[in-house]
Structure 1
Amino acid sequence: MTDIATEPNLARPLTGATLILAALLIGLGNFIVVLDSSIANVSIPHIAGSLGVSVTEATRVITFYAVADAIAVPLAGWLARRFGERRTFITAFIAFGAFSLLCGLARSLEMLVGGRVLLGLAGGLIRPLSLTLLLRVFPAEKATLATVVWAMTTTVAPIAGPILGGIISDNAGWEWIFFLNVPVAAAGAAGLFYLLRGRPELTARSPIDAVGLVLLVIWVTALQLLLDEGRNLDWFAVTQIRVLAVVAAVAFIAFLIWELTAKYPIVNLRIFRHRGFVVASVTYALSFGAFFATIVLIPLWLQQNMGYTATWAGYATGIMGIFAVLASPVIGAAAAKIDPRLIISTGVFGLALISIWRTGFTPDMTFLQMAWPMLLTGPFLMMLFIPITGLCIASVDPHEQTDAAGLSNFLRTLATAFAASLVQTGWANAARVNQSELAGAMPQGTSTIEAMVASGLSRETATTLLTNVVESQSVMLATLNMFAAIALCLAFSGALIWLAPKPNSPIDTSGRH
């Protein structure tokens, strides 16, 4: 690789008001990207109704955004080296606003999903580069403060997403969850262009692993399509699903072989030789995927079966941020002193216990009864989120730490896409099975209908009422089934982390590696 520097040295850190404003605008970029990963969760019923598709089909808006985000993450480093971190970030910021406008103008599911894919690609560049830029503009001695800014935007955004999404969808229309990104992105990009103008950057003619990138896109997209379409097309009974399975498998195997032999791999798979990294990154992906499955499932269940509006479904999901924000400083301080495996395990087991708590939910529960488990989710989530990336990075050699951070985040983002598809598939299948079992366990169904007819109802009305009761109970049981499955996944992850070796020293949570 031949490096051609445009300037002899990187720019000095910023100071004073310029530093504060630049940090806020960089953090804002990360905020709207992470916000868009959850803001659509409570808007899915609105989107489905507006575009004339099923709720299941509309959830592609969530899954394909996450897939595109994950695919773009490995590209961020190459683009930053080739064109400069500042230029890449500002360009991606502008693109995010433009693609948000495209999403808001969409009048078909295909156009909206396409816009969300482009949005995810832009967001996948902004998210990792936001931390890099924050560390560039802050003095070295304030690196931890830079990380706090980044962590707070990363933490608050997915919490605010359901609340904002619900309020906007109910009062202005789902399109505005995208339109509001446009002025924010435009102002943020313009402000950063002004504040960071003239700052020297190092650029280099860096080779890109085009073959690896193409194989990555093929296997990830094929697998996601398989998960999304399989539940609608009777899985492997349909040729299309079998073809997708073969394409995903072949492309994945080719991807592994290519990346392990390439001189400049787009994903450095060699770091999987470190047991600590494997355990920490798998724990991260499984735990966060299980958590994300919960925040996809709960808003859908509340709106479709509990009569909640999008706004109140957003409140029910977003309130976990209250204790999460309050607990973050304490957990951050503890992570520098206590074995991170203990903190992570406690957090993940706590999330598992909360999921077990949810298996006791009933159709007539109040908002407050629903709120308590979600409130307590926040601190346990922070016990996972704060130390896990540091443990991933501490498990590899110093020259591999950037790759470790990128790959662990790639796996986490990919897990959210797969989890969203899997939980909906499991939910739908469990509801069908439960409905059949409930119907078979009602030998008095005919006599119940006759009694309702005798009380003055028409036979059609009586049959409809009884069918609705069976369907409602089957969905309720399916929801509890999913909470139980999520609890098992979290319990496994909480135990898995102990297979990682104990770090020799406190993990570095500053993000400067």
Structure 2
Amino acid sequence: MTEMNPSMPKGHLTEPEPLHGIKLILATIALGLGSFMNVLDISIANVALPTIAGDFAVSPAQGTWVITSYAVSEAIMLPLTGWLSSRFGEIKQFIIATLLFTLFSVLCGLAWSFPVLLIGRIFQGIVGASMIPLSQALIVKSFPVEKRGMALGIWALTTIIAPVSGPLIGGWLTDHYSWRWVFYINIPFGLLCTGLIYWLMKGRDNVPVKKPIDAMGLLLLAIGIGCLQIMLDKGNELDWFSSNFIVIVAVVSVISLISFIIWELGEEHPVVDLRLFKIPNFLISCLCLFIGSFAFYIFVVIGPLWMQTQLGYTPVIAGMVMASTGLLAIFAGPLFGSQLPKLGARRVATFGYICFAISAIWSGSMTTDVDFHYLQASRWIMGFGIAGFFVPLTAISLSRLKGPQIAAGAGLTNFLRNLGGSIGTALGVTIWQNDAIRNHAVLSESINPTNLQFMELSNYLTGMGLDEPAQLQLVDLLVSSQAYILSTNHLLTLSGLIMLSLIPIIWFAKPPFAAGGGGH
């Protein structure tokens, strides 16, 4: 019988014995699948948006609500992971969440109207938000103390590979079958995952604690995070603060979130444990995850966007370029994790930041005639970069957490990672477009009869039989191409420099970084 440890928070039992042998392998696969299908669902639907909008006869702008509805509901629920797992039990909460996520995936695939699809996506986000942090918490607890670094490395693969492979898988399914299979693909993963976890972890759950529901905190959180996510998702489309709608949701978000923080700090049973930020290692890792995710999503979003709009790549081909970033990560993630106590989390993170910066700056030195293979080559080393980013930061974030704090902390870190990614995506696309417009204006100033190069090109095109309007149209296309490559290069280089700026911050974290010690 497992005994209560008085030093643990109320409702927590001393941790059960780690799993071993085939059970440990199966549990790792099952928890990894749960996290993978959830992260995959964020990116896989992006590629299918034009087809979905066409099938339901809605505008492309309305079609983006397939993504926004999921992102908003998930963002609201992620910080609640600790409260939910404490109230219902971590394993029970994970199993229920995964089953319901699978069920609502079926509803999305069967959707007979656009509103039904949106309802399915909202509920996917609500029930699925806790899957990622709980898979992280449970996979760490399933491994022996000395192998928890490897556990983190294996878990990190789901957050690395899924966003990269999502567009590739989504494009292939949409092209060869139907956009509905973007959602049906979750069915076998969800059923296998829940079946294995129920069998392997029966009787290992924490004791639920019936805390009072912090209704006011929950309401303020839902309004604040919901409005913030809507602002980020729709800001670029509505031209940001020139839109009254964006101004209103921004003001409501700021007021609600400030009120939420004040309320939670004075609440006896807060719905989100903000006191975790008093732990220095947790605070530092959250800061680095937030800023690093901002830089990472600029890299992940802007590159494919440029390839598809300027190089004419299909989503599948652009996805193949980006998929190369995950190849080295498949090996680097478990390698870094297993060697984390020996190499030290801060050293691994520093190496990862440097690799990310090298790849980003290399990718930010392209010309308009770059080819597919060169684009892939410039992203290979990014595998070391993203593995060196996620694995040690996850270890550092959990290094001072105990019992139920692990699930609560994992929920907060994943929320901040998603928020950093949302801000990076929204601002990145806006800056990319505005910078390209400025570059186009500057370059166009040199298109005049006093420019010898322009006159030589004009004479050459005249000799090719093109009249003046056709020549100007062709020159405008060339200028636009140059304007967007300059904008793309600036942003990718910026993402690398941002990641380098995290190196001094991570060294403020204090070892040991793994349960039982180890790591520098």
Work out the CA distance in 2 between the residues paired with 1:290 and 1:118: 29
Q: Decide which of 483, 488, 499 is 2:492's aligned counterpart.
A: 483
Aligned residues of 2:45 and 2:170 also touching (Cα < 8 A):
yes
List per-residue Cα deviations over 1:368-417 (Å, max 9, x = no partner). 21112211001121112111122223356888555433322221122112
CA 1:51–1:270 in 2, change beyond 3 Å: closer, same or farther?
same
Residue 304 of structure 2 is aligned to residue 299 of structure 1: yes
Counterparts of 1:29-428 in structure 2, within 5 Å, are 29-43=34-48, 61-62=66-67, 65-105=70-110, 112=117, 114-134=119-139, 147=152, 149-190=154-195, 192-193=197-198, 202-394=207-399, 402-428=407-433
Q: TM-score, normalised by structure 1?
A: 0.85
Aligned residues of 2:399 and 2:513 also touching (Cα < 8 A):
no
Work out the CA distance in 2 between the residues paired with 1:199 and 1:507: 22
Aligned residues of 1:219 and 1:248 also touching (Cα < 8 A):
yes
CA RMSD of aligned residues (A): 3.7
CA 1:20–1:311 in 2, change beyond 3 Å: closer, same or farther?
same
CA 1:201–1:371 in 2, change beyond 3 Å: closer, same or farther?
same
Q: Decide which of 470, 495, 502 is 2:504's aligned counterpart.
A: 495
SS of the aligned residue for 1:202 comes to coil
Q: What is the aligned length?
A: 506
CA 1:480–1:137 in 2, change beyond 3 Å: closer, same or farther?
closer
CA 1:243–1:455 in 2, change beyond 3 Å: closer, same or farther?
same
CA 1:209–1:280 in 2, change beyond 3 Å: closer, same or farther?
same
Per-residue deviation, 1:329: 3.6
CA 1:462–1:101 in 2, change beyond 3 Å: closer, same or farther?
farther
Work out the CA distance in 1 between the residues paired with 2:461 and 2:397: 62
Q: State the identity as a percent.
A: 36
Q: Which region of structure 1 is more displaced relative to structure 2, 151-160 or 452-461?
A: 452-461
Work out the CA distance in 2 between the residues paired with 1:298 and 1:183: 32
Per-residue deviation, 1:255: 1.1
Aligned residues of 1:236 and 1:242 also touching (Cα < 8 A):
yes
Work out the CA distance in 2 between the residues paired with 1:16 and 1:36: 31
Work out the CA distance in 2 between the residues paired with 1:324 and 1:393: 21
Aligned residues of 1:43 and 1:310 also touching (Cα < 8 A):
no
List per-residue Cα deviations over 1:64-108 (Å, max 9, x = no partner). 544433332232333333333343222211221222233334577
**Unaligned stretches of 5+ residues in structure 2:** 1-8
Per-residue deviation, 1:158: 3.2
Per-residue deviation, 1:191: 5.1
Q: Decide which of 497, 502, 514 is 1:507's aligned counterpart.
A: 514
Tell me the amino acid that sits aligned with residue 96 of structure 1: F
Work out the CA distance in 2 between the residues paired with 1:390 and 1:9: 20
Residue 443 of structure 2 is aligned to residue 438 of structure 1: yes
Per-residue deviation, 1:40: 3.5
CA 1:82–1:276 in 2, change beyond 3 Å: closer, same or farther?
closer
SS of the aligned residue for 1:242 comes to helix
Aligned residues of 1:42 and 1:313 also touching (Cα < 8 A):
no
Per-residue deviation, 1:320: 1.6
Tell me the amino acid that sits aligned with residue 346 of structure 2: R
Work out the CA distance in 1 between the residues paired with 2:366 and 2:331: 27
CA 1:222–1:201 in 2, change beyond 3 Å: closer, same or farther?
closer
Q: Decide which of 452, 457, 480 is 1:471's aligned counterpart.
A: 480
SS of the aligned residue for 1:365 comes to coil
Tell me the amino acid that sits aligned with residue 514 of structure 2: I
Work out the CA distance in 1 between the residues paired with 2:52 and 2:311: 19
List per-residue Cα deviations over 1:245-293 (Å, max 9, x = no partner). 2111111110111111111222222233344433321111111221122
Per-residue deviation, 1:336: 0.7
Q: Which region of structure 1 is more displaced relative to structure 2, 198-207 or 330-339?
A: 198-207
Q: Which region of structure 1 is more displaced relative to structure 2, 71-80 or 317-326?
A: 71-80
Work out the CA distance in 2 between the residues paired with 1:196 and 1:463: 68
Q: Which region of structure 1 is more displaced relative to structure 2, 79-88 or 250-259?
A: 79-88
Tell me the amino acid that sits aligned with residue 228 of structure 1: D
Work out the CA distance in 2 between the residues paired with 1:54 and 1:432: 25
Per-residue deviation, 1:23: 4.2
Work out the CA distance in 2 between the residues paired with 1:386 and 1:178: 29
Q: Which region of structure 1 is more displaced relative to structure 2, 488-497 or 277-286?
A: 488-497
Work out the CA distance in 1 between the residues paired with 2:279 and 2:103: 41
What is aligned with 2:3? none
Per-residue deviation, 1:201: 6.2
Q: Which region of structure 1 is more displaced relative to structure 2, 52-61 or 223-232?
A: 52-61
**Unaligned stretches of 5+ residues in structure 1:** none
Work out the CA distance in 2 between the residues paired with 1:271 and 1:135: 19
Tell me the amino acid that sits aligned with residue 352 of structure 1: A
Per-residue deviation, 1:339: 4.1
Work out the CA distance in 2 between the residues paired with 1:338 and 1:280: 18
Tell me the amino acid that sits aligned with residue 219 of structure 1: G
Q: TM-score, normalised by structure 2?
A: 0.84
Work out the CA distance in 1 between the residues paired with 2:358 and 2:17: 48
Work out the CA distance in 1 between the residues paired with 2:250 and 2:418: 21
CA 1:132–1:480 in 2, change beyond 3 Å: closer, same or farther?
closer
Tell me the amino acid that sits aligned with residue 246 of structure 1: V
Tell me the amino acid that sits aligned with residue 237 of structure 1: S
Per-residue deviation, 1:53: 6.8
Tell me the amino acid that sits aligned with residue 466 of structure 1: V
Work out the CA distance in 2 between the residues paired with 1:187 and 1:350: 36
CA 1:58–1:350 in 2, change beyond 3 Å: closer, same or farther?
farther
Work out the CA distance in 2 between the residues paired with 1:10 and 1:129: 15
List per-residue Cα deviations over 1:407-429 (Å, max 9, x = no partner). 22221122112222121111222
Aligned residues of 1:268 and 1:403 also touching (Cα < 8 A):
yes
